[in-house]
Amino acid sequence: MQATMNMDTSAKTLNTQSSLKASEVEEIIYYDFTHNEKLWSSSPTSRYTTTLGESLIATVNKRSKLYSARRVGSYDFEVDFVGDENNEVEIYDHDGDDLLAAPLPLFRRTHKIHIDSDGVMYCGCCAFESCGIFCEHQKAVSDFIYQHLNLTFDGFTKHDIALRYNAAYMHLAYKQTTPNYLNAMFHHLSKNKVKGPRLQVKILDSIAIEEPSTILPASLRLKNYDGSKITIDNEYFDNMHTLTQESTMSNVAVPDDFEVIFSQSIDDTEFNFQQNVDARSALKSMVDVAYADADDIGEEAVKKMKFILSEFRSWCNEKRNVCRSKEENDDRVYVPMSKGGYKGKAKRVYNTYHMP
Ligand SMILES: [Zn+2]
Cα Rg of the chain (Å, integer): 29
* Residue 64 in this model has a pLDDT that exceeds 80: yes
Q: CA-CA distances (angstroms) from residue 103 to 96, 100, 106, 272?
A: 15, 8, 9, 9
How far does the centroid of ligand 1 lie from the alpha carbon of residue 132, in Å? 12
3-state secondary structure of 88: coil
What integer pLDDT is reported at residue 20 of this predicted model? 93
d(CA 23, CA 279): 48
- Segment 188-238, tens digit of pLDDT: 998 898 999 999 999 999 999 999 998 887 778 887 777 777 765 555 555
- Segment 227-280, tens digit of pLDDT: 777 765 555 555 444 444 444 444 455 566 666 776 777 676 665 555 566 788
How far does the centroid of ligand 1 lie from the alpha carbon of residue 128, in Å? 8
What integer pLDDT is reported at residue 245 of this predicted model? 40
Half-sphere exposure of 197 (CA within 13 A, CB side): 26
How far does the centroid of ligand 1 lie from the alpha carbon of residue 9, in Å? 48
How far does the centroid of ligand 1 lie from the alpha carbon of residue 251, in Å? 26
d(CA 92, CA 17): 36
Is the model more confident about 322 or about 311? 311
How far does the centroid of ligand 1 lie from the alpha carbon of residue 167, in Å? 25
What integer pLDDT is reported at residue 58 of this predicted model? 93
| Predicted confidence band of residue 333 (pLDDT cuts 50, 70, 90) | low
d(CA 187, CA 173): 8
* Residue 3 in this model has a pLDDT that exceeds 80: no
How far does the centroid of ligand 1 lie from the alpha carbon of residue 47, in Å? 24
Q: What's at 346, amino acid-wise?
A: A
How far does the centroid of ligand 1 lie from the alpha carbon of residue 79, in Å? 8
How far does the centroid of ligand 1 lie from the alpha carbon of residue 266, in Å? 30
DSSP assignment of 271-320: --GGG---HHHHHHHHHHHHHHHHHHH-HHHHHHHHHHHHHHHHHHHHHH
How far does the centroid of ligand 1 lie from the alpha carbon of residue 20, in Å? 37
- Segment 126-171, tens digit of pLDDT: 999 999 999 999 999 999 999 999 999 999 999 999 999 999 999 9
Q: What is the mean pLDDT of the chain?
A: 81
Contact between 71 and 77 (Cβ < 8 Å) = yes
What integer pLDDT is reported at residue 157 of this predicted model? 93
How far does the centroid of ligand 1 lie from the alpha carbon of residue 131, in Å? 12
Distance between terminal CA atoms of the chain? Answer: 39
CB atoms within 10 A of CB 346: 9
How far does the centroid of ligand 1 lie from the alpha carbon of residue 289, in Å? 42
d(CA 203, CA 119): 10
Taking the CA atoms of 129, 131, 137 and 143 in sequence, report the sign of the dihedral they define: positive
Q: Ramachandran region of residue 298, left (φ > 0), alpha (ψ -120 to 50) or beta?
A: left
Is the model more confident about 56 or about 355? 56
CB atoms within 10 A of CB 140: 26
Torsion of CA 289, 293, 299, 302, to 10 degrees: -30
What integer pLDDT is reported at residue 88 of this predicted model? 63
How far does the centroid of ligand 1 lie from the alpha carbon of residue 153, in Å? 17
Given the DSSP bridges, would you call strands 76-81 and 110-115 parallel, antiparallel or unpaired?
A: antiparallel
**Range name among 71-80, 101-110, 168-177, 191-200 with the lowest pLDDT average:** 101-110
Ranges of each domain in the chain: 36-83+105-227, 232-270, 279-354
d(CA 161, CA 84): 27
Is the model more confident about 204 or about 338? 204
What integer pLDDT is reported at residue 241 of this predicted model? 46
How far does the centroid of ligand 1 lie from the alpha carbon of residue 64, in Å? 10
How far does the centroid of ligand 1 lie from the alpha carbon of residue 121, in Å? 10
d(CA 49, CA 25): 15
How far does the centroid of ligand 1 lie from the alpha carbon of residue 122, in Å? 8
Residues 6+ apart with CB under 8 A from 51: 28, 32, 38
What integer pLDDT is reported at residue 315 of this predicted model? 93
How far does the centroid of ligand 1 lie from the alpha carbon of residue 114, in Å? 11
* Residue 86 in this model has a pLDDT that exceeds 80: no
CB atoms within 10 A of CB 113: 23
What integer pLDDT is reported at residue 121 of this predicted model? 95
3-state secondary structure of 233: coil
How far does the centroid of ligand 1 lie from the alpha carbon of residue 138, in Å? 6
How far does the centroid of ligand 1 lie from the alpha carbon of residue 109, in Å? 11
DSSP assignment of 105-146: --B--EEEEEE-TT-BEEETT-HHHHHSS--HHHHHHHHHHH
Looking at residue 220, the DSSP 8-state letter turns out to be G
Specify which residues 71 forms β-bridges with. Answer: 77
How far does the centroid of ligand 1 lie from the alpha carbon of residue 301, in Å? 54
How far does the centroid of ligand 1 lie from the alpha carbon of residue 302, in Å? 54
How far does the centroid of ligand 1 lie from the alpha carbon of residue 142, in Å? 12
How far does the centroid of ligand 1 lie from the alpha carbon of residue 137, in Å? 5
H-helix segments, the chain: 7-34, 51-63, 127-131, 136-148, 167-172, 180-191, 234-238, 258-268, 279-297, 299-326
